[in-house]
Amino acid sequence: MSTSSPWPMHMLLTGSLLFGTASAQTPPRRLQPVSFSKVEITDDFWKPKMDKVATVTLEACIQQTEMKTGRIRNFEKVARGKGEKHEGIFYDDSDVFKALEAMAYSLKTHPSEGMEQKCDEWIEKIAAAQQPDGYLNTYYTLTGLGQRYSDMSMHEDYNNGHLIEAAVAYYNATGKQKLLDVAIRWADHFDSIFGPGKRHWVTGHQELELALVKLYKATDERRYLRLADWLLSERGHGYANGYTWRDWKDTAYAQDAVPVKDQREITGHAVRAMYLYTGTADVAAETGDTDYLKAMRRVWEDVVFRNMYVTGGIGSAGSNEGFTNDFDLPNEQAYCETCASVGMVFWNQRMNGLTGHAEYIDILERSLYNGALDGLSLSGDRFFYGNPLASRGQHQRREWFGTACCPSNIARLVASLGDYIYAQTRDGIVLNLFVGSRTQISAGGENVDLQLQSGLPWNGHHTLTVSPNRKTRFNIYIRIPGWLSGRPVPGDLYLPAAGQPRPPAPVFRINGEALAYTVHNGYAVIEHVWQPGDRIEWEFSLPVIRLTAQSNVKSNTSRIALQRGPLVYCVEGTDNEGQAWNVIIPPHAEFDTTSLLILDEPVVALTATVPVLTIAPDRASAQTEARKLTAIPYYTWANRGKTEMQVWLPTAIHDVKINY
């Protein structure tokens, strides 16, 4: 991968670097994300979505959990101890815990006495279902405790990883410890059975690893960190032999074919992989184990350079909910599970923290605004499990799913959005995402109030007001998004089509005065002695970029995708006389922007006059005519009923595949 800067040489002035030069022998210095609980979101784009999640989405999760499915009833049945039958699927406990986690985040940003009472009610039922030895799993408790820990693919540890995440989140939000005590008792129980000198265990669906690191941070009990590290070390050594594998086709399905430190390729189930590599990065951050970091970089390159959709979605195949062969990225058959895109956000944040490189936030941003956000309807109460990049009109958003991981997962991501905006370094403050917000961060030995105003994703104007307690020197690092460079996506899987001018580099002004800045690791480095009320202003250009795919991606031959700022666009039949498969985008097509209202969502749409192919009723002839084309942000499609849709658009008539 090229390390050359895309910026003019006059901007590469001498100045302090973000983290120095990390070598293979030197553990990377980390930046520390600022917790969502310290960030107030004021953004015109994201705040309405967070408000909707706090009300509509979480209410849908509660209704489904309590009244329309047996998820809470299973805990009640265990507590009654009357031998009642388990309802649903063996991993349904996890949905309760993910919903609780989302509710906890929401309580911090949207305090609600009723929501807190609901959480406490659920927590009482969960605690009552825990066994005397700390074991907690409604499926085996109701169907036969004698079978527990006999099948590594039965999600016992996955479920309780989500329990731990919910417990830590609720403790941080409310200070209440009851659920945290439940999680600690389960973790101690698991640790008493598995570990060095005890039983081997390879988690079938990874999640526990990252959760144990969270529990370690919450309790300062290093035993949990050691247990997470041990779970990583179990993979790739054949320790699964002798156990039942209910849903594994091969060990690569759950990333168990090769030891984690030796892994080079992405394999198997996409969500399991994301949770594994997030946990690996978490352990590496706490232990300084650079072998983990090297492996994570190798696998990350395999994902981003060869196996990622332009939307930031991953996992092309529904057959294994994951990866197949390099460059196998079909559009209409794309699986792209919402949870996998959520996992991409988690993993890339950790990689950014480990390395200080902005390219990981470029991928995080791509997955967040496109692959993940598409999983949540504009109304807040309908969802996508998979997120294809083309549709013949058969897709629609649903109220719920039998396997319902995605609704609560996207809810907890949006509710905790503040986690991904700011970070701290030893010498300053990092701005990663451009989301209007307020926070207070320590820098230069002083508390610094920050207020960001951002027009993204619709316009590129930004103002950051910096107010330290008193005059002080520190650096501010502002990410230069990849879509402003010649490489919107790291690597060469997706590149701007030939002939497009590169957007201009941003000009930063402090209190109206332009300043020179350095660029390092994708960040503009602004060195300054700051005073209360200082204002940094800048503008990001937002041209419409035509993206082409590498020639190995056969499904995108002679096709282009449209991107503006962080958003990928699609063509939907609703705006184009009911069709989306009959358009041609010639190289000379010029796109304009226009305002559009999709349900109650104001968006910037793209328009152009392009050839549209029409087939005669007898199919004996075809002709093209010029029509106005409208493209909308990908995350907004399928909110107005079933209709055709395409992200990758043909550039020649012979590539048009009309839906007869």
> Known catalytic residues?
321, 405
Closest CA to 102 of 183, 41, 169: 169
Cβ proximity of 350 and 373 under 8 Å: no
254 in Cβ contact with 269 (< 8 Å) = yes
Write out the two tokens for 158. Answer: 């996955």
* 8 Å CB contact between 206 and 255: yes
Count of CB atoms situated within 10 Å of the CB of 621:
9
Contact between 594 and 578 (Cβ < 8 Å): no
Give the residue from 659, 564, 651 showing the smallest Cα distance to 607: 564
Q: Structure tokens of 624? A: 């093209």
Q: Residue 472 — φ and ψ, nearest 5°?
A: -160, 155
Pick from 160, 143, 158: nearest CA to 77: 143
Q: How far apart are CA 358 and CA 379, in angstroms?
A: 32
Question: Contact 129/78 with Cβ under 8 angstroms?
Answer: yes
For residues 374 and 379, what is the distance between their CA atoms, to the nearest angstrom?
12
| Angle separating helix axes 71-80 and 113-128, nearest 10 degrees | 50
Measured between alpha carbons, how far is 325 from 333 in angstroms, rounded to an integer?
14
- Are 226 and 240 spatial neighbours (Cβ–Cβ below 8 Å)? no
Q: Is 524 helix (H, G, I), strand (E, B) or coil?
A: strand
SS3 assignment for 55-79: HHHHHHHHHHHHHHCCHHHHHHHHH
> DSSP per residue over 588-601, as a string?
T---EEEEEEETTE
**What six digits make up the tokens of 280?**
């690996």
Sign of CA dihedral 100, 106, 107, 108: positive
First and final C-alpha spacing in the chain:
43
Residue indicated by tokens 């996890």 = 94
DSSP state of 531: -
Helix (H, G, I), strand (E, B) or coil at 319: coil
Q: Specify whether the CB–CB gap between 401 and 47 falls below 8 A.
A: no
The β-bridge relationship of strands 422-425 and 428-431 is antiparallel
* CA atoms of 345 and 325, how far apart (whole Å): 23
Residues in the chain: 660
Quote the DSSP letter at residue 569.
E
Give CA angle at 652 (648, 656), nearest 5°: 60
Q: Which residues pair with 462 in a beta bridge?
A: 454, 538
Rounded Cα distance, 619 and 281, in Å: 56
